[in-house]
Structure 1
Amino acid sequence: MSNDRLLASRRLDVALAMAARGDNEAAIEVARAAIEADDNWDEAYFALGELHEKAGHGEQAIEAYRQYLMRDATDRMGAEVRLMLLGAVAMRDRLPPEYVRALFDDYAPRFERALRDRLTYRAPELMYEAVRSLMADLPRPLEVLDLGCGTGLVADVFNGQVDVLDGVDLSPRMLNRARAKGVYRDLREADITAMPDMATAHYGMVIAADVLNYLGDLEAVLSMIRSRLVAGGILVMSLEEGDVFPFDLGPGQRFRHHPDIIADWLKKAGLEVLSNQQGVLRQEKGMSVMGRIVVAQARITPDGMIQSLGTVMPMAGDGEFGSENVAVLH
């Protein structure tokens, strides 16, 4: 078994430089030479898969990604995601957590600049507009849980409008940047599908901005969110919209959810849709990424009471929460 990692690394650097100049076929040959120097280097197989994929060599790309997975079972580079997009494996119900963590750890230093300046990301603003008229009727103090909080882009918009912000994220480097803003009370590194104990057990509002796109099947996580809401509390979430029922994986390596399955899952979780608004979440490769901003509340019983966490309580305020509203946000 060859194991000259230094030589392999040098060869792979050359291969990637060739690919950057558009000489993809030559890059593939040099990447193969890198693997000959160290045939146990997982990253070299992944790079070879990418080069084959770019060249339109589907079968060779699939084989390279499979070789990568044989050497890295955690899949921190996301080979299974590539295999799903290539149709080589069945659609999974989530992206590999180690891949998502590594992706955002690497992305953290340039995350805000990239989203705000290059991608014109505006989901937090759309989410705030979707709940602004409802917030006066939410229980006080208004404690908010920011799922997949990242660097704190939601906090930039909601800080000063709520009493407390707590956050959860998978990426420690993203959390470090959120922590530096000094606006969160409690920040935890965790997978949102296995929520840790927080400073507060239940919240008046849960915000999920562009985090549920990394999960396919949302039934369990919506039930978890429901369990974290106080009576009358609301969930506001952004989702990329898809035409495939129940969901599919888009070219941006994020799940797109069909509107009908979202309605089914929310109903099963005991959440009533208050609004369901369509809007442009970001720009990507010159194209608008369409999504949904959905607001849902603990289900109202026939006698006008709110059933939440096994407790029946009167609905706060004068009942101004409306029925489902579909509007285009610009």
Structure 2
Amino acid sequence: MTETGQTAHFASSGDPVLDRRYGWAEAALKEGDAQAAVEILDQTLAEASHFTAAWHLYGLAQEALGHREDAATAWRQCIDLDPNDHFGARLDLARIGAISAEQATSENFSGALFDAYADRFDSHLTQTLHYNAPELLKAALARFCSNAGRPFRFETVYDLGCGTGLMGEAIREQSGFLAGCDLSPRMIERARAKTTPAGAPLYDKLAVAGLTSFLTSRPDNSADLVIAADVFVYLGELGQSFAQSARVLAPGGLLAFTVQTHQGDGVVVGEDRRFAHAEGWLRQRLQKTKLAPLSIEPASTRQDRGVAVPGLLVVAEKA
């Protein structure tokens, strides 16, 4: 069964009548009547305890009523039924503090989310959310290269979570071999369709893969730049990503990335279901993997309902 097929399977009870009830509950919650949603879902789940989507919605409705323990129980049931977590229940558990943020990463949820988002991804990001991570990262790399007296050129670049290729478009002119990976097959299709002004493929290599597994497949000391534009907002624990980046980078190679951040300590999951990493936590994890932070500066890469989302732009160097 394909990833999309698996998600569709968990999203249905298999009974059209119960699926309609789920739709009524979803509408009630959207209209602000969480109690009605709970009552409808109580009946629905009594007849279809295997209905994963209904358990996830039940958790959201219980949370809206202030019943966090009931919400957590529902989301744990969601994970029991679907260990691959296509609905992102781990993110919700972390969001309410029921598990640590580092335990909450769900690659299957992210892949399914972006598959559905692929066709409108570019326009929604750039026009609605005012997304500017590629431009900010490119400018930061240009400043570093200028200050260090080295060419603004990277012979081998790995673009992690490349999506439809917005970062690739920004850095292509400064890249020799450009490889990208993404969990979403539809995002990779969009990236594969893009070309340079000369008509050549934008990317020299593309892979449907999680960023850690992609990096694991790359040789030691094989890259001059590893870049991740607004990708780590979908990962809690970044230690393995940093370690693999350090391994594949040649001495003097750079890791450049953006994250969302917060004023507290460690890692949290925000109301937007994205991870936010504290600056001190990032410094600690980078130092463990022998990546020296060259700059960590405030940078908002997108807006949420017209408000700039707090973030950090990081450039680190392999010694």
The normalised TM-score by structure 1 is 0.82
Distance 1:263 1:179, change over 3 A: same
1:160-239 matched pairs, under 5 angstroms: 160-181=173-194, 182-194=201-213, 195-198=215-218, 202-239=222-259
Match of 1:250 among 270, 273, 277: 270
* Bigger radius of gyration: 1
CA contact (8 A) 1:243 1:257 kept: no
Counterpart for residue 40 of structure 1: 50
What is the distance in 2 between the residues matched to 1:193 and 1:43? 28
Distance 2:45 2:90 in 1: 20
Unaligned runs of 5+ in 1: 300-330
Q: 2:303 aligns with which of 283, 289, 292?
A: 283
Shift in Å, 1:224: 0.9
1:66 aligned partner: 76
Counterpart position of 2:123? 113
Letter in 1 for 2:225: M
CA distance in 2, matches of 1:107, 1:151: 10
Q: Partner letter of residue 232 of structure 1?
A: G
Please say if residues 179 and 205 of structure 2, whose CA atoms lie closer than 8 Å, have aligned partners that are also in contact: yes
> Kindly tell me: are residues 17 and 246 of structure 1, through their superposed partners in 2, closer, same or farther at Cα, counting changes over 3 Å?
closer
| 1:17-50 Cα shifts (integer Å, max 9, x gaps) | 2333333322222222322342211111111212
Q: In 2, are the aligned partners of 1:138 and 1:232 still within 8 Å (CA)? A: no
| Seq. identity, % | 34
Structure 2 stretches lacking a partner, 5+ long: 1-12, 195-200
User: Is the CA contact 2:220–2:248 (under 8 Å) kept in the aligned structure 1?
Assistant: no
Confirm or deny: 8 A CA contact 2:179 2:204 kept in the other structure. yes
Contact 1:145 1:203 in 2 (8 A): yes
Aligned equivalents of 2:97, 2:266: Cα separation in 1: 17
Distance 1:165 1:84 in 2: 35
Deviation at 1:140, TM superposition (A): 6.2
Contact 2:159 2:167 in 1 (8 A): yes
Report Cα offsets for 1:78-107 as digits up to 9, x if no partner.
112111222223443451222222222222
Letter of the aligned partner of 1:249 in structure 2?
V
Equivalent in 11, 16, 20 of residue 6 of structure 1: 16
Q: 1:200 & 1:189 partners in 2: Cα distance?
A: 21
User: Equivalences for 1:126-165 in 2 at 5 Å?
Assistant: 126-135=136-145, 137-138=150-151, 142-165=155-178
What is the aligned counterpart of 1:101 among 95, 107, 111?
111
* Contact in 2 for aligned 1:35/1:44 (Cα 8 Å): yes
Report the residue type matching 2:212 in the other structure. Answer: T
Partner SS for 1:120: coil
User: Which segment drifts farther, 205-214 or 20-29?
Assistant: 20-29
What is the number of residues matched between the two proteins?
297
Partner of 1:262: 282
Q: Structure 1 runs of 4+ off > 4 angstroms?
A: 138-141, 198-201
- Residues 125, 131 of structure 2: 8 Å contact kept: yes
Q: Is the 8 A contact 2:153 2:174 kept in 1?
A: no
Partners of 1:221 and 1:12 lie apart in 2 by 38
Deviation string 1:215-249 (CA, Å, 9 cap, x unpaired) is: 23322221210111123221111122222322222
CA shift, 1:11, in A, is 1.0
Change (3 A) 1:88 1:241: closer
Deviations 1:132-190, CA, capped at 9 Å, x for gaps: 14457259662211011111110121222322311011222221111111301111122
Provide the C-alpha distance between the structure 2 equivalents of 1:51 and 1:183, rounded to a whole number of angstroms: 44
Task: Report the CA distance shift for 1:112/1:12 in structure 2 as closer, same or farther (over 3 A).
Answer: same
* Shift in CA distance, 265/92, structure 1 to aligned 2, threshold 3 Å: closer
| Structure 1 pair 39–185 and aligned structure 2 pair: CA distance change class (3 A) | same
